Structure 1
Amino acid sequence: MILFGMPVVQILLFGFALTNEVKDSPIVVVDYARDEASQSIITRLGASRYFKLERNVLSQKELIQSFRDGKIKAAVVFPDHFNENLEHMNKAQIQILADASDPNTATLVTNYVSAIVRDYLSDRMELMAVPYQIIPEVRMLYNPQLLGAPNFVPGVMALVLMLVCVMMTAISIVKEKEMGTMEVLLVSPFQPFLVILSKAIPYIALSLVNLGAILTLSTFLLELPVRGSLMLLIGESTLFIICCLSLGILISIKAKSQQVAMMISLVGMFLPTVLFSGYMFPIENMPLPLQIISNIVPSKWYYIIVKSVMIKGVGFMYIWRETLVLIGITIVFLLISLKSFKIRLE
């Protein structure tokens, strides 16, 4: 399976499903003009395969809310008298706002919007034979300098915590089996829950130390401070750590040897975290089955939480859905682990 199956899977994933191109990126339009020219450009944006026109908003508050919710990648704002300025002054302005917490996607989205505007302008000049000009004013939100750290640091946090937590706990219980010390634990008066808890607590402490090191380096070395609540970020990170530990314990209970547990934790967790968290490849570009699969990957939800709190500076009211998903995944892993834990060795 590894020799012949993995090359086929990698070719299909990297060649077909995973791409850095922009497809069906959600955008909104703020149309103060509501004239012929603005409606024509909006129609072109909606017809493009690059964008998915979510809705039109009419207020600045709604626009900021859409960006903070993380449901849109960009917004196009048409000012009042847009068509009138084109006809009488031969030039007009539009504003393009992009979520630059992912600088690569933001750059591609703004370039595609600008290209569609240029195409409209070219077609209009051919019909009217008048030198029109539309000047796009581009504004990058949350990361105006288009630095890589705002996208890199949350992804590394999700990857490091996932691998360390899962891999360390994955070999904990199976190691007791191989060393023959599991019999001592099984004849002790401890409940299975306490045995599992005793394996998780040390790694929770070590993972929190890793978290502190990452946040310290990102703040002082990469100049990427936490814009939101630090306590909220630590709390959400602790929840993610517990989720990863519960998954590692489940792997440890099911595996027959340390080598098997190590292989499952490395291969089984590294690839989903890289591919399906949204860290390297936009999830909205993937086929629908892969988008559905990504919903069961805990690092996807943690990556969204870290970007929202650390980069956008939002509060709990914007990430409560992702938090509930992580809590649900953690409970499922813990229940399966407790049910699978056998008090008798085979």
Structure 2
Amino acid sequence: MNLNVIKAYLIKEITEIVRSRLIIAIYLLPTMIILLFGYGIRMEVTHTRTAIIDYDKSKLSNDLISKFEHSKYFDVKFYDIEENKALNLMKQAKLDALIIIPEDFEKRVLKGQKTEIGIYIDASFPMRGTTIESYIQGILLDVSTEYLKDYPKKYLISVNQRILFNQSMRDENAIVPGLLGIILFVAPAILSALLIVKEKETGTIFNFYSSPVNKIEFLIAKLTPVFLLHSINIFILFLWAVYVFEVPFRGNFFIYWITSEIYVFISLSIGLLVSIITKTQIVAIIMTVVITVLPGFLYSGIIMPISSLRNEAYIEAHLFPVMYYNHIIYDTFLIGQGFSSEKNILYFFILILYSLLLLTIGVRFMKKEL
């Protein structure tokens, strides 16, 4: 291996990156993604537009309405509205929830008789509808427990609840660590996808074909500048997460760093493989986006926990490295088990094997000829 040849190629690659102003995109794109999605994605549902029809007019029903009025999750906009009118408002997307308290509600509760509360929820978005339903059930349970505390114990339900890992229930704590997996999967791959295909389009690849430089030297010179530049992003994204979004960091920074470096190398290898097998930059970018962006969002754990996936989706999630990386990243930020967890160790070695496999495939596909 000729180090002088590698050095010359390195200087050439760095010069081209700076001259083409790609270096701006290297740091601007990840920052834009983490800011846009970090502030833009919200799982918590607040200020639900609510109508309440009270046919009971009792102390219990008044206390129940008061709970909804003083909750940040509900905005009670209508009282004692006609049911048909409320349902029409829901059809017009002007109302999210309708609660109907029946007559003799308090009496039946105190006598231990079965009673029902009518609840209508706009479930056009199923996840949002399920969340609203859970909020309503929580308030009903809270009111019934508080109201019946002086009555026989058989009517009481006691809930001893503890929130772990994300005690404040902040969306940022759940979203931002997952965004790191998406950003470090997409950004390096897109840049490396242009490395070789760009030379094919401009014709400068013939310099490599006609030179005594071997494949290993060529690939090292191509990947090293991009790898080092994106390695800086690992620290920049960490600072955004901890100091801007105030996500707690409970794990080992070395585990975060070394895992992220391996993950960046995987992303670069994916882009490199795409760059080798394609002939135009547009095709390379489109293919890279399909391979990285879609799996990144679907299987990162941000939108849906991997454990909730079923059948083919569950298998597909295990075929992409973003799932393994994000599991370790969520642990370093929110839990802090590190390598004391066997699952983290397993996922760490899977990432190493993934990087070696992709690099081997890339070297085999790389031809020093037309």
TM over 0.5: yes
Note the C-alpha offset of 1:179. Answer: 1.1
Note the C-alpha offset of 1:296. Answer: 1.0
TM-score normalized with structure 2 length: 0.58
Structure 1 runs not aligned, ≥5 long: 1-19, 21-103, 122-128
Find the counterpart in structure 2 of residue 287 from structure 1.
310
C-alpha separation between the residues in 2 aligned to 1:314 and 1:285? Answer: 23
Note the C-alpha offset of 1:219. Answer: 1.6
C-alpha separation between the residues in 1 aligned to 2:160 and 2:180? Answer: 34
C-alpha separation between the residues in 2 aligned to 1:149 and 1:200? Answer: 33
Note the C-alpha offset of 1:143. Answer: 1.1
Partner amino acid, structure 2, of 1:342: K
1:185-200 matches, within 5 Å, as 185-200=208-223
Note the C-alpha offset of 1:139. Answer: 1.0
Instruction: Specify the SS of the correspondent of 2:161.
Output: strand
Note the C-alpha offset of 1:132. Answer: 3.3
C-alpha separation between the residues in 2 aligned to 1:130 and 1:168? Answer: 65
C-alpha separation between the residues in 2 aligned to 1:277 and 1:141? Answer: 21
C-alpha separation between the residues in 1 aligned to 2:165 and 2:308? Answer: 22
User: Cα deviations across residues 190-249 of structure 1 (Å, max 9, x unaligned)?
Assistant: 221221121111111221222211111222112224211112101100010011111110
Q: Which runs of 4+ in 1 moved over 6 A?
A: none
Note the C-alpha offset of 1:286. Answer: 2.3
Q: How many residues of Structure 1 are paired with residues of Structure 2 in the alignment?
A: 232
C-alpha separation between the residues in 2 aligned to 1:294 and 1:147? Answer: 25
1:86-97 matches, within 5 Å, as none
**Residue in structure 2 matching 1:309, options 332, 336, 351:** 332
Partner amino acid, structure 2, of 1:217: W
Find the counterpart in structure 2 of residue 142 from structure 1.
165
User: Is the counterpart of residue 208 in structure 1 residue 236 in structure 2?
Assistant: no
C-alpha separation between the residues in 2 aligned to 1:262 and 1:225? Answer: 35
C-alpha separation between the residues in 2 aligned to 1:222 and 1:322? Answer: 27
Instruction: Specify the SS of the correspondent of 2:304.
Output: coil
Find the counterpart in structure 1 of residue 362 from structure 2.
337
Check conservation: 2:177, 2:241, Cα contact below 8 A.
no
Partner amino acid, structure 2, of 1:205: L
C-alpha separation between the residues in 1 aligned to 2:254 and 2:225? Answer: 21
Note the C-alpha offset of 1:173. Answer: 0.6
TM-score normalized with structure 1 length: 0.62
C-alpha separation between the residues in 2 aligned to 1:130 and 1:273? Answer: 50
**Residue in structure 1 matching 2:189, options 159, 166, 180:** 166
User: Is the counterpart of residue 217 in structure 1 residue 240 in structure 2?
Assistant: yes
1:82-161 matches, within 5 Å, as 131-161=154-184
C-alpha separation between the residues in 2 aligned to 1:186 and 1:154? Answer: 43
Check conservation: 1:279, 1:303, Cα contact below 8 A.
no
Partner amino acid, structure 2, of 1:239: I
CA RMSD of aligned residues (A): 2.9
Partner amino acid, structure 1, of 2:178: G
Find the counterpart in structure 2 of residue 328 from structure 1.
353
1:258-273 matches, within 5 Å, as 258-273=281-296
C-alpha separation between the residues in 2 aligned to 1:312 and 1:190? Answer: 47
Find the counterpart in structure 2 of residue 83 from structure 1.
none
C-alpha separation between the residues in 1 aligned to 2:365 and 2:349? Answer: 24
Structure 2 runs not aligned, ≥5 long: 1-42, 44-126, 145-151
**Larger Rg, first or second structure (1 or 2):** 2
